[in-house]
Amino acid sequence: MASNADLTLPLLSSRTDPALSITSSSPSHSVVSLTKRLLFPYLPPSSPIPPLLQTSSTYPALDAELYDLIALALRAYINPWWTKITRYDKQLLVEITRILSSVLRALEERVLATDISSLIYHDLPVLLTQHCIDYRIAAQKLGSSYAAAGSASLPLLFHGQQQHAALSVDGKLDEVYVRAAVDIILKACLSPEDWDAEAERYLIREIIVKTVCMDIAPRVTQPWFLHSTLLNLLGPAEELLRLPDPPSRFNTNSFAFPSFHTIIVIFLSAVQTVSSTALSIIQIYKRTVNTIKDMPPASPSFRETPPTPRLPSPSDSVASHSNNLGTPPHMPKLASASPHNLARPLLLLVAELLSLRSRFSGTALLFLCDALISIFAPFLDRLLPLFLYTSILTPVQVTGLVSTAKHALFPNGYSAQSPPDPTLDEQAVLRSELVRRLAQTVPGPLAPLLLGSTPAMREQTLNALLEPFDEQACNAHLFVLTFDLVLLALFPEMAVGAADSGVSSL
């Protein structure tokens, strides 16, 4: 076994130290975490784990979750076959951990230097709006002469409007496309020395490709998965319990003056209500003042008259919206570098999802909201990025997202087979339950304006809201285009125009 290990070590990495490969860690009575046993086997049990990210001192819990995810992935994908080759060489996992740490730190630098607000508030809403438009146009063509005399399916018609090199007609993701994208990412994040370590780099690449193409994409593009995720985000339904009316203690025809005790209780309750309301108003005022103070100063370019809102036409290419990403700005220049009217793409997305233009009340509400957004555009363009970075993209939320991904990919600490998909009846129940919960979420006074005046119209509006996401093959296009948007936001050199400068592009 030792001779086999000596033959395989030079093929894996030229930096492997044979002395370290034979050395085994000393036994310890204390419980050693999986991260230390796999990723740092030569580190003393009492020594702290090296920091992973540049912001590790701000929130160490994120480092711990990322290290756990890396350790579980290496134990699931590399340890089963590597321990059969050699039981003593632990340097391979150490080298892979070091290269992954370099990649994560490089990605962290790009994320901190990228204007994520333009991606969240502008590019993704535009992409979702275009997805809904193309889906509904493809659905209208079914059974007509535009659908090859009625023989073309909905995924085929949708694929004709959003053709992509990474997807087939049935929505299957091409591994070659993802592999090429991961290679470009590793090339941009690794040093020349780490890039030359082909064995470790290939292992990292194939783990990412397998996770994206076989574990994530087929699952998140399923309609029932989206319905289940939305139900989990909405939380449990609140059932209103109607209690019977208590019997009247007094005769309605007679009048009795309340007692002194009742008057005191009513007076104190009124004082408590007034004081609580006043305290709430003071807290809201203080929070608003602090928020306005924390916002970056307005740029003179924000005083320009914004263009009138327009839904993207079906002939517009989705790829044209990706060109708006440009060079990622720095955080201090966030306000001046973000696109104008960040709230308008969100408004147009809501209008398309709820079909507001098909009803007079919805059109009037859309016009009123657009007028208010135009008036308060400079304020909203500074408030929305601040809200994103202080309430959504916080270390706590990112840590929770990493923990959720870890438990979803490795339940009970090991890679398990995906559970079977729900039956058609169970999927129908999920969809109907989601429609019911969405109807309960809309406030009563706004329901006639947003959904319709009658219960039948409201149910029809909510069903139309979910229809663009009812086909897995169509959702695969949305997944790939979102994947491209994120890559272009973090790696603008991967855009089409970067090919002229000698940079590889997708």
User: pLDDT by residue (tens digit) across 166-180?
Assistant: 999 998 999 999 999
Per the listing, tokens 């089963």 go with 80
Q: Where are the domains of the chain?
A: 33-112+175-220, 113-171+221-234+295-501
**Mind listing the pLDDT tens digit for each residue in 355-395?**
999 999 899 999 999 999 999 998 889 889 988 988 888 88
Cβ count within 10 A of residue 229: 12
* Of 463, 456, 460, 455, the residue nearest 431 (C-alpha): 463
Residue 327 three-state SS: coil
Cα separation, 140 vs 62, whole angstroms: 47
Flag whether pLDDT at 11 surpasses 60.
Answer: no
| The pair of three-digit structure tokens given for residue 312, joined into one six-digit string | 């993207």
Flag whether pLDDT at 181 surpasses 60.
Answer: yes
Which pLDDT does position 48 carry in this prediction? 86
Q: Cβ(502)–Cβ(496) under 8 Å?
A: no
E strand intervals along 40-110 = none
The half-sphere exposure of 461 on its side-chain side, counting CA atoms within 13 A, is 26
Per the listing, tokens 């306000």 go with 335
| The pair of three-digit structure tokens given for residue 80, joined into one six-digit string | 């089963």
Q: What is the pTM of this model?
A: 0.76
Q: Cβ(221)–Cβ(479) under 8 Å?
A: yes
What is the rounded average pLDDT of the residues 306-318?
A: 38
Cα separation, 426 vs 408, whole angstroms: 21
What is the rounded average pLDDT of the residues 257-263?
A: 75
Cα separation, 505 vs 498, whole angstroms: 7
Q: How confident is the model at residue 329 (pLDDT cuts 50, 70, 90)?
A: very low
User: Residue 37 CA to chain centroid, in angstroms?
Assistant: 32
Residue 326 three-state SS: coil
| The pair of three-digit structure tokens given for residue 500, joined into one six-digit string | 């002229």
Flag whether pLDDT at 13 surpasses 70.
Answer: no
* Of 481, 110, 483, 485, the residue nearest 324 (C-alpha): 485
Percent of the chain whose pLDDT exceeds 70:
78
Flag whether pLDDT at 467 surpasses 80.
Answer: yes
Per the listing, tokens 């996992």 go with 93
Nearest-10 crossing angle of helices 124-141, 472-490: 150
Cα separation, 71 vs 54, whole angstroms: 20
Q: What dihedral angle (degrees, nearest 10) is formed by the CA atoms of 187, 188, 192, 198?
A: -20
Cα separation, 54 vs 112, whole angstroms: 11
Average pLDDT of every residue of the chain: 79
Cα separation, 495 vs 331, whole angstroms: 22
Across 201-211, b (16+ Cβ under 10 Å) vs e yields bebbbebbbeb
Which pLDDT does position 489 carry in this prediction? 93
Cα separation, 377 vs 372, whole angstroms: 8
Q: Cβ(195)–Cβ(186) under 8 Å?
A: yes
Q: Is the dihedral of CA 489, 491, 492, 497 positive or negative?
A: negative
Element (H, E) at 360: helix 360-375
Q: How would you class 221 by CB atoms within 10 Å of its CB: exposed for 0-12, middle for 13-18, buried for 19 or more?
A: buried
What is the rounded average pLDDT of the residues 223-229?
A: 93
CB proximity list for 39: less than 8 A, separation 6 or greater:
67, 70, 71, 74, 93, 94, 97
Flag whether pLDDT at 108 surpasses 80.
Answer: yes
What is the rounded average pLDDT of the residues 5-22?
A: 40
